[in-house]
Structure 1
């Protein structure tokens, strides 16, 4: 008989994992303390934007394999394998990760565990967390040693979460018992049968895989953006530099795209938490380079503001600025630490009238920055603008007709914050085109 699964926490990670595992044929119960979120999910209404996920959610509900609850008692009674999917945000005023939601989840679940089961952590955590939680589960659960823990870090990319869940590029398992490994191999049997690589390791290594991967990715993004700073000073073209580097097999072209830098709910807080944990372990010098990675990333936002100010004559007072993009990346409505929204807010604070448009993130942006104006479309946002800023590279922005857009703006000034537009096409249409790291 197949294992019955729970997903504890139904945010981006938990809702995706629950729906996709139900689609693989498992009976799944999703849990959250937010009753409103549970009601929406139970109605087949996804609380966030993720391409392709809502039909899978509804298919699971209609099949009866997927349900949602707010009861830890019900979840404990239902599940054989409990996936912990709660968030670990950055602590306010600190670099360290806030694991209070994780601890609260374990403390609520453990006293209800009266029979043998496996708890699986998927959240991104400081190294050492799994060992601590494994001991806490045994201490608090009535089933004692019958409750085992595995650590199975997630590697979801927003916009590609369904693909990354159902067809991951690797599965990492941190375990300390053969029983935990056996259960996880059975849960992921269909993926392993497709040839997905499996790495079985200890708790600490499994925790480090996710943070190390994010640190490497952030470093690669900030490297090319550091080169953009040099290119601007030397009157070189970072786009052509990036292309030339991409042909080197040791480097590759993925995530070597110069632009406004990274944001979102993972990379910024994860590299900061990694630095904080390294300091606690007494090896802070090993990750000191990540401070500069973070600094380079934040400087891109300031430089974007500078470029826009230069195009409007040195001051934003009395200017109208169109901002295309609010989400931190395309195919997402996530505005957490969004470079686009940060730039929009900064320019507004400096005296400009800023109008924002994003295909998916308008509701979230309005909630966080109600002081900004919002357009109904890219053309609406650009009406009478002195400068247009492309800050999130949605396809519909990349495909904009520069002639059509040019008819609604006051001045044909554009700053391409993602190096996504065809500069020759826009210049041929009479636009003053600028981009980070390019002449």
Structure 2
């Protein structure tokens, strides 16, 4: 099947390469000429495990190409819309200008019977507006939300845990003939994962648009819940990790995403819950999502608390102290520093008078572009040289597996603050470290 992927950022590049690996003939379209050139050369423009290998694998088949010319999308049977929807500057609402621009540019190149499949995370109501603009072309719109996790994006695309089709429906909620035809085309696109037993949910536009933001809001709520418990644990001397273990055995709750620490960041959860709140307000149901304001607030307080803990272990002041921050990306296995808790903590400490050195296996260059005034190091040991306190801020495997004795040999003071609750306190204390962590005694 011939497929176009409009927008070749994180979502689009992974989707284009994955669709080509499934046997489809794919063209990726993006306005960024440098990004297109790098992808055409088989180079991933960001760090994502497995993507370089996938690009190399499909590059030799001739089934994947990239272009800056939207006219190259003509002739594709399915057009995937994969452009970003960042948070508007100074507002909670999503910025839909990239979606509107890409859709407008695509319209002249779609043909009757084509399917435009929206994968971007958009406020509910967006698909309905786009569908009305698409009707004169004889093409159909489907909303097919993405559920990628950074660090696992290739796996999540090739072997998704579910597929969702938001189809055009009639007044009784049944798919229209165009919706049924679009359903069949998407089934052909996803034939391999469907054959593997991937669950498929077919629904209307509104529900399909809500699925992604509802899922992200639930995950954000669960993370902020355990971080709220961490605040109580610190006030009472309880241990939030043991608490999470105990309640996690309840099958109704589960242990996943009950890891207290610095909280969530990145380009999805923070902006998605804020856009969700903004859209609820526009619909007149803002009270239904008012709890998300506290979810957001708890999440941001964790960053401040991390700085406070560092100040406590530095005898009440970080002014002039040498601080090593292990991690700049918002999560491990990524070079994404958007709304990164780790980088936020590093910047706060620098602004408060500390001498901060940041390291990260993949995100140093992205961090440097955002915060050039911070000092950067290539390795944890280099960053920790003569440090008064070490902060573990992103739980990369190499930081979780650090040897306390080896780190202790280079620091000025054996003090560590575990912002992700991933280190063994007994091992670090046995090596002579003062160990502190969010939500633990």
TM superposition score category, shorter chain reference? over 0.9
**Which residue matches 2:68?**
70
Secondary structure at 2:130 match in 1 = helix
Bigger drift between 327-336 and 187-196 goes to 187-196
Q: Which residues in structure 2 correspond to 1:74-113 (within 5 Å)?
A: 74-75=72-73, 77-113=74-110
Distance 1:212 1:417 in 2: 27
Q: Which residues in structure 2 correspond to 1:34-433 (within 5 Å)?
A: 34-75=32-73, 77-139=74-136, 144=137, 146-176=138-168, 177-433=179-435
Distance 2:324 2:427 in 1: 20
Secondary structure at 2:60 match in 1 = helix
Distance 1:115 1:63 in 2: 29
Task: State the shift of 1:137 in Å.
Answer: 1.8
Distance 2:35 2:320 in 1: 42
Are the counterparts in 2 of residues 326 and 338 from structure 1 also a CA contact under 8 Å? Answer: yes
Task: State the shift of 1:74 in Å.
Answer: 1.4
The CA RMSD measured in Å over matched residues stands at 0.7
Are the counterparts in 1 of residues 376 and 383 from structure 2 also a CA contact under 8 Å? Answer: yes
Are the counterparts in 2 of residues 153 and 206 from structure 1 also a CA contact under 8 Å? Answer: yes
Task: State the shift of 1:112 in Å.
Answer: 2.4
Distance 2:423 2:91 in 1: 37
Q: Structure 2: which 5+ residue stretches go unaligned?
A: 169-178
Secondary structure at 1:78 match in 2 = coil
Secondary structure at 1:63 match in 2 = coil
Q: Structure 1: which 5+ residue stretches go unaligned?
A: none
Distance 1:116 1:283 in 2: 37
Distance 1:236 1:156 in 2: 35
Deviations 1:34-63 (A, max 9, x none): 000000000011010000111111221111
Are the counterparts in 2 of residues 159 and 330 from structure 1 also a CA contact under 8 Å? Answer: yes
Bigger drift between 252-261 and 54-63 goes to 54-63
Deviations 1:176-217 (A, max 9, x none): 111111111111111111110000000000000000000000
Distance 1:190 1:273 in 2: 33
Bigger drift between 108-117 and 168-177 goes to 108-117
Bigger drift between 178-187 and 11-20 goes to 178-187
Q: What TM-score do the two structures reach when normalised by structure 1? A: 0.97
The ranges of structure 1 where at least 4 consecutive aligned residues each deviate by more than 6 angstroms after the TM superposition are: none
Are the counterparts in 2 of residues 106 and 137 from structure 1 also a CA contact under 8 Å? Answer: no
* Matched residues, number: 431
Distance 2:120 2:111 in 1: 24
Distance 1:6 1:257 in 2: 39
Q: What TM-score do the two structures reach when normalised by structure 2? A: 0.97
Deviations 1:290-334 (A, max 9, x none): 000000000000000000011111111111000000000000000
Secondary structure at 1:163 match in 2 = helix
Secondary structure at 1:48 match in 2 = coil
Are the counterparts in 2 of residues 7 and 17 from structure 1 also a CA contact under 8 Å? Answer: yes
Are the counterparts in 1 of residues 361 and 378 from structure 2 also a CA contact under 8 Å? Answer: no
Task: State the shift of 1:138 in Å.
Answer: 2.5
